[in-house]
């Protein structure tokens, strides 16, 4: 057993649900929370991947970890995932709503209607469904903290990705509204706005495409999933106890331009 967290017990006794945690940012978040002592429900549409990650967390960090199959576009699937988390881990104290997809790149007047629906269903409706079922579970536990995963497209436009930008802007609106509704009831809800991050989603990018993305960031590089996970850990911890209803940039000064 090993822990890599600078705060190895900050989440001890806390149960967390991380959507889209079989890879990428979600995987980094699941590892970071387990390193801090949390019990983690690894939720992903890729059930095989979720089982592999849950096994890794149990072996590496000695915390409880369960794999949960999850399709965030299906409210019944989300309800089941939250119920399974509570049944297996005893409560729901922390959640990171990270599951998302990219979608095609096309001018708005050529954007495929079926792809518009698919991206909105996953990236916006999926966060709504997650909040809708996570919040009652957290209220039953006496409070908690939630992080919704936005994007640089939550605050900036980006040509060719109308559906993605619309959905990610919507995540910020959901975050602020939910925070206002539940702040007095002991649930904090914030969002993270990452820049372009080194994840499997960029695995197929050409050298020229990668160079272009790097050039968008004054920091001169892409971010790492671990850097996003550190922000998530901060927002879920008591270190951010008066941080609520806000979004936090992890983007190498991309949005400052």
**pLDDT per residue as tens digits for the range 158-214:** 999 999 999 999 999 999 999 999 999 999 999 999 999 998 778 788 889 989 999
Here the CATH number for the domain that contains residue 101 is 3.40.50.720
Quick check: is 2 in a domain?
no
Question: How does residue 103 score in pLDDT terms, banded at 50, 70 and 90?
Answer: very high
**pLDDT per residue as tens digits for the range 118-137:** 999 999 999 999 999 999 99
- Catalytic annotation, residues: 164
Quick check: is 3 in a domain?
no
- What is the number of structural domains in the chain? 1
Q: For residue 145, how far is the Cα from the chain centroid?
A: 13
Q: Domain limits at 130?
A: 15-250
Taking 80 as the threshold, does the pLDDT of residue 2 lie above it?
Answer: no
**pLDDT per residue as tens digits for the range 29-40:** 999 999 999 999
Please name which of 71, 75, 93, 91 lies closest in space to residue 83, comparing C-alpha atoms: 91
Quick check: is 94 in a domain?
yes
Model-wide pTM > 0.85: yes
């Amino acid at each position: 057993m090993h822990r890599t967290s600078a705060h190895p017990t900050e989440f001890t006794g806390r149960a967390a649900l991380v959507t889209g945690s079989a890879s990428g940012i979600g995987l980094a978040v699941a590892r970071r929370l387990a390193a801090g002592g949390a019990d983690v429900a690894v939720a992903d549409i890729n059930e095989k991947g979720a089982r592999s990650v849950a096994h890794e967390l149990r072996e590496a960090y000695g915390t409880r970890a369960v794999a949960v199959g999850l399709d965030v576009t299906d409210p019944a699937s989300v309800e089941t995932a939250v119920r399974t988390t509570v049944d297996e881990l005893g409560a729901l104290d922390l959640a990171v709503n990270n599951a998302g997809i990219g979608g095609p790149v096309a001018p708005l007047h050529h954007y495929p209607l079926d792809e518009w629906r698919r991206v909105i269903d996953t990236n916006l409706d999926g966060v709504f469904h997650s909040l809708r079922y996570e919040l009652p579970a957290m209220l039953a536990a006496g409070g908690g903290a939630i992080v919704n995963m936005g994007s640089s497209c939550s605050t900036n436009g980006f040509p060719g990705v109308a559906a993605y930008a619309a959905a990610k802007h919507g995540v910020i609106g959901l975050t602020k509204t939910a925070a206002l509704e539940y702040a007095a009831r002991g649930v904090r809800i914030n969002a993270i706005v990452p820049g372009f991050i080194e994840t499997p989603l960029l695995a197929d990018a050409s050298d020229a495409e990668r160079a272009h993305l790097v050039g968008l960031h004054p920091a001169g590089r892409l971010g790492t999933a671990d850097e996003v996970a550190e922000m998530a850990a901060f927002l879920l911890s008591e270190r951010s106890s008066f941080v609520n209803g806000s979004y936090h940039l992890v983007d190498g000064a991309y949005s400052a331009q």
